[in-house]
């Protein structure tokens, strides 16, 4: 299993819209395309208050690539994305990291 950490920095005033899109649509579509929703976070204390952090799990890098390719081409996703961006872009910066668990990590 590999894990992908993604950090989305929301545009001013767009965090609620970003979270609603994930809550109402994106998490379900990720699962549809073979991505495992591990967790979603915002900062409670310290750091930035305009970031949504999340981790997805995949069997391997090939499964990750296949899942993202299918997700990005999904007509339902394209419709949802267009609808949720009509009032302005929700995200202005994305950071992506593929994480490798250590040999002592309880989550592998």
The answer, yes or no, to whether residue 80 has pLDDT greater than 90, is yes
pLDDT of residue 68: 98
Residue 9 burial class via C-beta count within 10 angstroms: exposed 0-12, middle 13-18, buried 19 and up: middle
Whole-prediction pTM: 0.92
43-61 average pLDDT score: 96
68-78 pLDDT, tens digit per residue, is 999 999 999 99
Within 10 angstroms of residue 90's Cβ, the number of other Cβ atoms is 21
Q: How does the average pLDDT of the chain come out, rounded? A: 96
The single-letter DSSP state of residue 44 is S
The sign of the CA dihedral 24, 29, 31, 35 is: negative
- The CATH number of the structural domain formed by 2-99 is 3.30.70.100
83-99 pLDDT, tens digit per residue, is 999 999 999 999 999 99
Q: Where are the domains of the chain?
A: 2-99
């Amino acid at each position: 299993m590999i894990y992908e950490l993604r950090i989305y920095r929301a545009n001013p005033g767009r965090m609620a819209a970003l979270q609603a899109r994930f809550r109402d649509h994106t998490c379900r579509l990720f699962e549809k395309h073979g991505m495992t929703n591990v967790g979603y976070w915002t900062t409670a204390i310290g750091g930035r208050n305009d970031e949504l952090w999340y981790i997805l799990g995949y069997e391997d890098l090939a499964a990750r690539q296949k899942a993202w390719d299918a997700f990005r081409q999904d007509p339902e996703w394209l419709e949802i994305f267009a609808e949720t961006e009509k009032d302005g872009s929700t995200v202005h910066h994305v950071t992506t990291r593929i994480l490798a668990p250590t040999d002592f990590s309880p989550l592998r």
